[in-house]
Amino acid sequence: MPLHWDAESLSRTLAPLAAGLRVEVAAELDSTNTALLDRARSGDARPCLLVAERQTAGRGRLGRAWWSQPGQALTFSLGLPLAPRDWSGLSLAVGLSLAESLGEPVGIKWPNDLWLRHEDRKLGGILIEVLPLPADTARPGARWVVIGAGLNILPIAEAASPAGADTFRTGYACLREFDPDATAAAVLHRVAAPLLQTVLDFETRGLAPLLSRFAARDVLAGRAVRAGDLAGTACGLSPDGALLLREAGDRVYSIHSGEVSVRPC
């Protein structure tokens, strides 16, 4: 059954926030992130919200594949020129915006995985990629940023996941578990404007105003975690968005990138 996205009304909602932003829906793409990066490389750096009903080569963080079936997930990317003073924390701001739009049961697993709180199951993920822009086309310091999000809408049979796909590393969760009306289109309409507003606010104000709200959604806080060779207790974020990890000897480390896993109790 065709999905109804009502892209025109979404365009009207977003236009006052970002002049000229287009909303496009494609039946199939390899990856919405790849498509917007390719466009910018070929000179088209107009702001765009690009949705794909099906991605044939969706990409996740750390080089993983992001796999989904049509209708089962909302997959989109927001591409725009951005010139924040400090880029650190953009992915946290994006995760926070999505978590808050999706509702109370949604938490953030640092840096920006969306989890069903209290259950440690992954509802969605975010992949942010940045390209330089030709100096003559951009505001000073601006880069082309592509913010890709994949949000699980419907349950999926684990057996249907291709071998090697990353979908179930942390257990699968979907929005229908707590929102019986969730559809890909309805969720897009719910999350898009707050996300765009959050990104524009981040450009001018950075991460600082969001830290207390992040803390309220932080699923790792106070829990035993592992990050590479380090093991300890997650204890919130530093002002620049690094994860703070307290080792048994009370030494606190700042984790700036990579994967963090929750250790079994």
60 touches ligand BTN (CB under 6 A): yes
Residue 19's Cβ-side half-sphere holds a number of Cα atoms within 13 Å equal to 0
- Burial degree of 78 (CB within 10 A; 0-12, 13-18, 19+): buried
Burial 163-176 (b: 16+ CB within 10 A, else e): eebbbeeeebbbbe
Closest approach of ligand BTN to the CB of residue 51, in Å: 9
Residue in 10, 18, 40, 66 binding ligand BTN, rule: CB under 6 A? 66
Taking the least distance from each CB to ligand BTN, the nearer of 64 and 246 is: 64
31 touches ligand BTN (CB under 6 A): yes
Residue in 48, 149, 182, 185 binding ligand BTN, rule: CB under 6 A? 149
Q: Contact at 8 Å (CB) between 151 and 177?
A: no
Q: Contact at 8 Å (CB) between 56 and 29?
A: yes
64 touches ligand BTN (CB under 6 A): yes
93 touches ligand BTN (CB under 6 A): no
126 touches ligand BTN (CB under 6 A): yes
Active site residue 263: yes
Closest approach of ligand BTN to the CB of residue 115, in Å: 11
Closest approach of ligand BTN to the CB of residue 38, in Å: 12
Q: Kindly tell me the number of DSSP H helices and DSSP E strands found in the chain.
A: 5, 12
Own/partner contacts of 70-73, CB < 8 Å, gap of 24 or more, are 70/3, 71/3, 71/153, 71/154, 71/184, 72/152, 72/153, 72/154, 72/156, 72/174, 73/124, 73/150, 73/151, 73/152, 73/153, 73/154, 73/184
Catalytic annotation, pick one of 59, 109, 117, 122 = 122
Closest approach of ligand BTN to the CB of residue 249, in Å: 32
Residue in 45, 53, 59, 214 binding ligand BTN, rule: CB under 6 A? 59
Strands (E), 117-259: 121-132, 143-152, 224-227, 230-237, 243-246, 252-255
Q: Which residue has tokens 């915006």?
A: 97
Closest approach of ligand BTN to the CB of residue 35, in Å: 8
Nearest-CB residue for ligand BTN: 125
33 touches ligand BTN (CB under 6 A): yes
- Which parts of 164-223 interact with ligand BTN (CB under 6 A)? none
Q: Backbone phi, then psi, for 33, in 5-degree steps?
A: -65, -50
Catalytic annotation, pick one of 59, 61, 109, 117 = 61
* Interface segment toward ligand BTN; rule CB under 6 A; list 41-49, 82-90, 119-127, 214-222: 119-127
127 touches ligand BTN (CB under 6 A): yes
Rg from Cα positions in the chain: 18
Under the rule (CB under 6 A), what is the footprint of ligand BTN?
Answer: 31-33, 55, 58-61, 64, 66, 75-77, 113, 125-127, 148-150
Catalogue the active-site residues. 61, 122, 263
